[in-house]
Chain A
Amino acid sequence: MSIHPEQTAASDPRLVRFGRYLADNPVIPLIAFLFFLIGVLEVMRPGIVLPFLGGREGIISTFWVGNLIKFAIPLAMIAACQVLTMLTAGIDLSAGIVATCSAFVCATLMPLMGPVPAVLIAMAVGMIVGLVNGFGVGVVRVHPLIMTLGTGLIATGCLQVYQRFVIATGTEIPAFLEWLGTGRTFAMPNGLFLFVPFAIFVIWLMRATGFGRLLFALGSNEHAAKLSGVRSWQVFLALYALSGLIASVAGLLYLGMIRAPSLSLANPLMLPSVAAAVIGGTSIFGGRGSFAGAIVGALILRVIDTMLTLLQMPEGARIALFGLIILLVTALYVRITGTR
């Protein structure tokens, strides 16, 4: 509610223009920032990125770069859930739990029915949670934060009950997931075989389809979308189902990477995924966002992670820092654009 219009009016026009430029092309400065961080990392621990500086073979450590990309991939995929939902001014806090659920379901069903049904059922699990989210957000109009938090809680409970029934069967990981998760081709992680098409799909969906246009429209001005004949509940239902599906695919990939299914496997990806999307220039208030930015955001977070580990920062500092990043970037966005 803007009760003090006189206070919100004036921001420095140059700051506004600069902010707009950044908002239009978030990827360029982000990549610059990524390289800056890598530079700092190199200074902190000479030779980690550029082995010859540490007196070892090689100009660039392909192993290190491959590792960076490998661990950024599942994060970037979950960040896709956040980018897509945040375009409509929503959020999907159940994404981490959904990823965990589908990974666990897949690993436990694998010995019983083989890889293909196990993977398909795991993906169906993600979609079902997503549909429930979409129903709550689009039809009942619960705030997406509360709704996805609630379904996440229920999904956790279901997973615990489910675990009781399958505890005897043991777990097994489909071979192709392991290949995707841990294998390398030319020193680059095989996960890229999944991720590159996925990223192209998400970017295509956002930019070149009617559905993508509606996501931007709903986040920018839901009233205007309604005026143009958009029934928003349909979009929300499809959106959250898609988000659930993406989360479950990310969970499967992560399963192949970690190779140890547990009841909290992908949960730690939750907070960084929101941070990656926000850093990548996606507005939490909707209407503006870029998946390319979120990918760079995920890489940046992984580099920061490495730095914090080098500094022997405790886990708490990491979480608090990510929280502060989200708040700072958002506050800056509000300050620069004057919108909420």
Chain B
Amino acid sequence: MTRLVQKHAWVLGLLVLLMVLLGITKLIQPSFGATGLESLARAALPFAFATAAMAIVVIVGGIDLSIASMMAVCGVTAAVLMQSMGAVPAIIITLGVGTAMGAINGALIVVTKVPDIVVTLAMLFVWEGVALLILSTPGGNVTDAMQGIIAGSILPGLPMALVVMAVAIALVWMPVRRSKIGLSIYAVGSDELAAFRSGVSVGWTKVVAYALCGLLAAMGGMSLIMLTGIGEPVPGPYLLASVAAVVLGGVVLGGGRGGLLGPIIAVFILRIIRTILTLAAVDPNVTTIVEGVIMVAVVMLGAIVTYRGVRA
């Protein structure tokens, strides 16, 4: 019970922190309003999908280092497909590609028994290579209609990008969360042996979790090309950012705890810090350093918490 309260308290705390940061932004830049929110939500989009994807594999007790590479593959796939077909079939195919890549990661981990961190490190390079094979230089085509999806606001203060993200992630996660397979994901991450003894198929659960990660990474990859209008084969800085957001969002490295809401709020917190630094006229490169330091510090904090948790 207390843990339940604690968990919500953490997410609530993050939400309060986000509000405070938004307030600070408004103070620094009084003209910060609906358009500011819009651009913030748009910039956060790929990070949010990457984080949601990472959160699921962390909950199952794993990690997927190949997330940014999978996003790159999906981005270029969609951009190339849209040159020859409509947006809808291209999106559907890309989602399939992402899911398949995730499932391959998961299956390799289960079948080879090589630890997740090593498999996904190798796959990071494999998928990066695949992305470059599909498109060796930035290119492809993104239909205007698709870019239009995340532009503007539904209501004042409610950016379209935010709605798209919430709907997309909810469509993936909600049916899973309360179903048997969702329970199994938490069970395997929490205590693999107890899960096995409760009759959970551990291997299958892991494959599904990694496949879901791939599916969300595909959405992330597509959101990327919606932002830039072009397919970019070189993976972006989404790995460390997603791990940091997942940890900050209250998902314990090692698995079993947390949800997707916390990490996504954490994404916005990390993004808005960047906005604030930019508004405060800090050199963008310095901003990168500050961001990096914050992310490393968050991950360190997570490691301390996990380490203490194991020892206690």
Chain A interface (Cβ within 8 Å of chain B)?
Answer: 1, 3, 8, 91, 136, 140-143, 145-147, 149-151, 153-154, 156-158, 160-161, 164, 271, 274, 284-285, 314-324, 326-327, 330-331, 334-335, 340
Contacts and interface: CB of A to CB of B under 8 A. Distances in A.
B230 interface: no
A157 B292 contact: yes
12 contacts: A140-B303, A143-B117, A147-B299, A149-B240, A150-B299, A153-B292, A156-B288, A318-B129, A319-B128, A319-B129, A323-B124, A323-B128
A157 B282 CA distance: 13
Given A1-B192, A164-B283, A316-B131, A150 B202 contact: no
B122 interface: yes
Interface string B211-247: 0000000000000000000000100010110010000
Nearest to A160: B285
B130 A141 contact: no
Interface stretch (B9-17, B45-53, B106-114, B270-278): B106-114
Contact of A146 (B108, B124, B192, B240): B240
A323 B300 contact: no
Given A146-B299, A331-B114, A320 B129 contact: yes
B125 A326 contact: yes
Contacts of A319: 125-126, 128-129, 132
Nearest to B283: A161
Contacts of A91: 121
B196 A3 contact: yes
Nearest to B307: A141
Contacts of B289: 154, 157-158, 161
Given A316-B136, A320-B133, A136 B296 contact: yes
Contacts of A161: 283, 285-286, 289
Main secondary structure of the interface of B (DSSP, over half): helix
Contacts of B24: none
A150 B131 CA distance: 23
A153 B288 CA distance: 8
Interchain residue pairs A-B with the least CB separation, the first 5:
A320-B129, A316-B132, A323-B125, A327-B122, A319-B129
A155 B288 CA distance: 10
A330 B288 CA distance: 34
Contacts of B260: none
Contacts of A154: 289, 292-293, 296
Nearest to A327: B122
Contacts of B239: 149
B292 A316 contact: no
Contacts of A327: 108, 112, 114, 118-119, 122-123, 126
Contacts of B240: 146, 149-150, 153
B168 interface: no
Interface in B84-135: 108, 112-115, 117-119, 121-134
B65 interface: yes
B132 A314 contact: yes
